[in-house]
Amino acid sequence: MGGVFTDKIIVQRLTPFRWMGISSTEEDHQIYDNARVFVTLCECIKKLKEFHKTANPPPFHPNQLQPCYFPYPSSFSENDTTFHFQYLKSLEDHPLCVTYLAEITSQDSTTDAGVKVVVKFVTRYGREVHEFLA
């Protein structure tokens, strides 16, 4: 499991729970599978440490919304135009909120800066439904 403290404590399962005990003599596949997970985790920890050596976090500004409280994506493309946006607030007062109010800050071509958009993160996407609701 992994945890992070923002304005609340968030803990999520990163992998399924894994059985580590040996309950029979024919569990080589399970031992090798667990070993692969541990090797992968070790490599990821090394990469994460390297990332944090060179990471340049944004400065902290008191009484302002901090980027660490919002998801990482901050742009989208439509009709070969890339729009960049800044999160303004969560639209729900719940730790599982996946919907945010954002504002367009810049665009590749004409100016739409200042336009408000809603950003929602989903696990499944249906283009036709999305276009109908839009």
Residue 84: pLDDT band with limits 50, 70, 90: confident
> Percentage of the chain with pLDDT > 90?
10
Per DSSP, the three-state class of 132 is: helix
Q: Report the amino acid identity of residue 22.
A: I
Read off the DSSP letter of residue 62: T
Residue 126: pLDDT band with limits 50, 70, 90: confident
Global pTM reads: 0.50
The Cα 18–Cα 109 span in angstroms is: 50
**Residue 125 burial (C-beta neighbours within 10 Å; 0-12, 13-18, 19+):** exposed
